[in-house]
Amino acid sequence: MEGKKTREEVEKINMIDTWLTKHRLIYVGATRHPFILSIRDGTVDLSSFKTWLGQDYIFVRAFVSFVASVLIKAWKESDDSAGDMEVLLGGMAALNDEVQWFKKEASKWGVQLSDIVPQKTNQEYCRFLESLMNSEVKYNVAITAFWAIEAVYQESFAHCLEEGTNTPLDLQETCQRWGNDGFGQYCHSLKQIVNRRLEKASDDEIKQAEVALLSVLEHEVDFWNMSCGGA
Ligand SMILES: Cc1ncc(CNC=O)c(N)n1
């Protein structure tokens, strides 16, 4: 059909940016959290950083399983998912490095990973990931959550590496892990996948994907709060 696009059609061309505008406050809450700002200005409490490090190592192991489940959903999509699978596989390869990096970083800071007990907030986030691994959950919904999880870390840590920040030298490697340009490119590829898929998705799936995005943002805020010693 020719002619002018409706507002809904225009919004669907870049669903993620539409949502980020709509949910700006919570997105900023997740990507400019006081914990991140304290890394950025050099006032970070090292015991908070160590808490984050140990808890995130546990989270990342659940996350690897989640990514595997997204990969399976991509493969089961009948149409052209080969490109999506390559991006996801690249993400998994990076996670392999990441798990090793956590072990190295933990020993550098004297954090005993085998002693870490997952906190309630972390357990709840991991349980949320597990709920998305259910085969009933649509690929479009899972890949939206996946993008959001990666994007929060990318935006947060890239913020600590900007010109004129006071990020402590011994935390810069951590910030580089998620704040580097390659990771930024990877998040951009994921965003394009999501936008391309959602453009053709049903209203019901789009609604579910939006709910998943908001849940991720809430869990990310809670995760930072937990690291700072709050709940
Ligand atoms: C709580 C949380 N959210 C996002 C990430 C980034 N993804 C993989 O590393 C992470 N490590 N931890």
- Taking only the tens of pLDDT, the chain with its 231 residues reads 568 888 888 888 899 999 999 999 999 999 999 999 999 999 999 999 999 999 999 999 999 999 999 999 999 997 788 999 999 999 999 999 999 999 999 999 999 999 999 999 999 999 999 999 999 999 999 999 999 999 999 999 999 999 999 999 999 999 999 999 999 999 999 999 999 999 999 999 999 999 999 999 999 999 999 999 865
Q: Is the ipTM of this complex over 0.90?
A: yes
> What are phi and psi for residue 178, nearest 5 degrees?
-110, -15
Residue 97, domain member (yes or no): yes
- For residue 219, give the ligand 1 atom closest to its CA: 1
Nearest atom within ligand 1 for CA of residue 125: 1
The predicted pLDDT at position 2 comes to 66
Within-domain flag for 85: yes
**Best CA proximity match to 33, nearest among 195, 122, 155, 130:** 155
Distance 220 CA to ligand 1 centre (A): 9
Dihedral-angle region of residue 121 (phi above 0 means left; psi in -120 to 50 means alpha; beta otherwise): alpha
| Ligand 1 centroid to residue 3 C-alpha, Å | 43
So what's the pLDDT on residue 148? 98
Q: Does 108 fall in a domain?
A: yes
Q: Is residue 19 part of a domain?
A: no
Nearest CA to ligand 1 atom 6: 150
Total tally of structural domains belonging to the chain: 1
**Nearest Cα to 55, choosing from 122, 134, 120, 106?**
122
pLDDT at site 93? 96
**Could you tell me if the CB of 63 is within 6 A of ligand 1?**
yes
Asked if residue 223 lies in contact with residue 58, where contact means CB atoms within 8 angstroms, the answer is no
176 located within any domain? yes
Q: What is the extent of the structural domain holding 214?
A: 45-227
Quote the ligand 1 centre to 4 CA distance (angstroms).
41
Rounded (10°) angle between helices 203-227 and 15-22: 50
Query: Does residue 7 fall inside a structural domain?
Result: no
12 is a domain residue: no
Å from CA of 102 to ligand 1 middle: 12
Mutation choice for ligand 1 from 53, 99, 153, CB with most ligand atoms inside 8 A: 153
**Can you tell me which atom of ligand 1 is nearest the CA of 152?**
4
Q: State if residue 149 touches ligand 1 by the CB under 6 angstroms criterion.
A: yes
> Is pTM beyond 0.90 here?
yes
Q: Is 146 in the pocket of ligand 1 (CB under 6 A)?
A: no
- Is 90 contained in some domain? yes
Q: Is 219 helix (H, G, I), strand (E, B) or coil?
A: helix
Provide the pLDDT for residue 1: 57
| CATH code of residue 216 | 1.20.910.10
